[in-house]
Structure 1
Amino acid sequence: MPALTKAQLAELLFEKIGLNKRESKDMVDAFFDLVADSLLKGEDVKISGFGNFQIRTKAPRPGRNPRTGETIPIQARRVVTFHAGYKLKEQIQDQELVPLAP
């Protein structure tokens, strides 16, 4: 399944809003830089009608090598989580299901 890229977002801004291509690319880059910087500072990013990005600290835990069954330690780490907002969830639920290509 194809993914929406930063380049495609910039192209859509160019087509729909009328910014020139350089401004569109700069705006997309600035948006993602702001999101990343906020997360690096430990701040949540809340985009109304879309969802929330948060940094979560995961505790260390034992893991298992699937081939050998050997127990291996998994280090503590920080991960980014995304929780879809109510409006986005509604839009997804209201959309007609499209079968996935094999």
Structure 2
Amino acid sequence: MIRSELIRLIASENPHLTAQQSERLVGCIFETIIDAMAHGNRVELRGFGVFSVRKREARLGRNPRNGVTVPVRNKTVPFFTAGKQIRDRLNGR
């Protein structure tokens, strides 16, 4: 599912919302999650999962084209842990 499909689904299931209002709603939710993670906070959506931030230390990597060793800087990456409800549904429980 892509963002536009999600917006369309929300608009169709909520007839009191226009497509434009649904788009703003989805954008607001995503921006709130991104802002919280940018500040190093965890975002927990019960039954869905947890969005968090992990730090990766600097290391030596390898260029796959020519095998040359290159330095990789430290970085912060997003991380998602699925909730129990999602895991159960995916596993047919």
Give your verdict on TM over 0.5: yes
Runs of 5+ unmatched residues, structure 1:
96-102
Count of residues in Structure 1 that have an aligned counterpart in Structure 2: 92
CA RMSD in angstroms, aligned pairs only? 1.2
CA distance in 2, matches of 1:40, 1:30: 15
Runs of 5+ unmatched residues, structure 2:
none
2:2 equivalent among 5, 8, 19? 5
Give me the TM-score of the superposition, normalised by structure 2.
0.92
2:25 equivalent among 24, 27, 30? 27
Within a 5 Å distance, the mapping from 1:1-102 to structure 2 comes to 4-18=1-15, 19-94=17-92
Give me the TM-score of the superposition, normalised by structure 1.
0.84
CA distance in 1, matches of 2:66, 2:18: 55
For residue 91 of structure 2, give the secondary structure of its aligned residue in structure 1. Answer: helix
Q: CA deviation at 1:66?
A: 2.1
